[in-house]
Structure 1
Amino acid sequence: MIEYAHIHHVSLAVRDLDVAKQFYTGLLGMQEIERPPFRSTGTWYAIGSQQLHLLQHPQGHTLREAGIDTTDGHFAIWVKSHTETIAWLEQQGIEYEARPDSVAGFAQIFVLDPDRNIIEFDAPYHS
């Protein structure tokens, strides 16, 4: 039997690493961390004890072209405050879909990165 500890990282394909870094580093303020010298082009971010890996696809392909569809593949990040996260997104000019009273048992906010990857921010209700 496999004894699971935690998710180590999520990897996303991006078309242009510089554009992606402007979003993740510049707008979302994520912390870049050292990446081994792979042959591929990419960057890594720390999200608590987990990581987000962005990989520039050699042919410029990504998986999605549509808007926010919460039944499509996405990753979620737990944040401390729903209200403060929305305020930050608005300050940065990032469009979002908020579900403050979601039936999930916590508040949800969905955004798209420049390559249309879906990011979900989750927080306690009314935080």
Structure 2
Amino acid sequence: MSTKEEPQYSFNGLHHTQLAIPPGAEDQIRAFYGGILGMVELEKPPVLAARGGCWFRGGALELHFGVEKEFVAARKAHPGLLISGIDALAKHLTESGVDVNWDDTFPGHRRFYAFDPLGNRLEFLEPEPTD
């Protein structure tokens, strides 16, 4: 039996998730994440702003969008976004022309998938109430 030493570090949460976008797609991202989802755009530090892309915050969650010349949408890899009011969000997305695909295979959560205008996959989850 081996003895494992306790690490001298700990994980304290997720600062942000980054998704790729093609050059010049910032306005599409702003329309979806800022307009439809209602997230707040953050000012990027000047040295990073020169690279293009944009950053958004909703609650404690940050999504960063970085420009990638050889862009390929994340069709399988995705951020899993914990939310409150999943039915209201699904309705809002549907009314905004965004397809919502429900999936009931994640125990303890209600969830659906949607794609942003560039084809990046997003997972929205809400814990089921416990009695």
Give yes or no for TM over 0.5: yes
> What TM-score range do you get, normalising by the shorter chain?
0.7 to 0.9
How far residue 65 of structure 1 moved from its aligned partner, in angstroms, is: 7.4
In the alignment, does 2:37 pair up with 1:28? yes
2:11 counterpart of 1:7: no
Residue matched to 2:57:
46
How far apart, in 1, do the equivalents of 2:124 and 2:74 lie? 21
Number of residue pairs matched?
118
| Structure label with greater radius of gyration | 2
* Alignment RMSD: 1.9
Cα deviations across residues 36-64 of structure 1 (Å, max 9, x unaligned)? 1123001111132231101122x2x3233
Correspondent of 2:95 among 91, 94, 100: 91
TM-score (norm 2): 0.79
For 1:65 and 1:75, locate their aligned partners in 2 and report how far apart those are by CA, in whole Å.
10
The whole-number CA distance in structure 1 between the counterparts of 2:106 and 2:74 is: 27
Aligned to 1:116: 119
Q: Is there any run of 5+ residues in structure 1 with no aligned partner, and where?
A: 67-71
Q: Give the TM-score normalised by the residue count of structure 1.
A: 0.82
Stretches (4+) displaced over 4 A: none
Contact 2:55 2:63 in 1 (8 A): yes
Amino acid at match of 1:49: A
Identity score, percent: 26
- The Cα of 1:76 is off from its aligned counterpart by 1.2
- Alpha-carbon contact 2:19-2:74 (below 8 Å) kept: no
Equivalent residues of 1:80, 1:123 under 8 A apart: yes
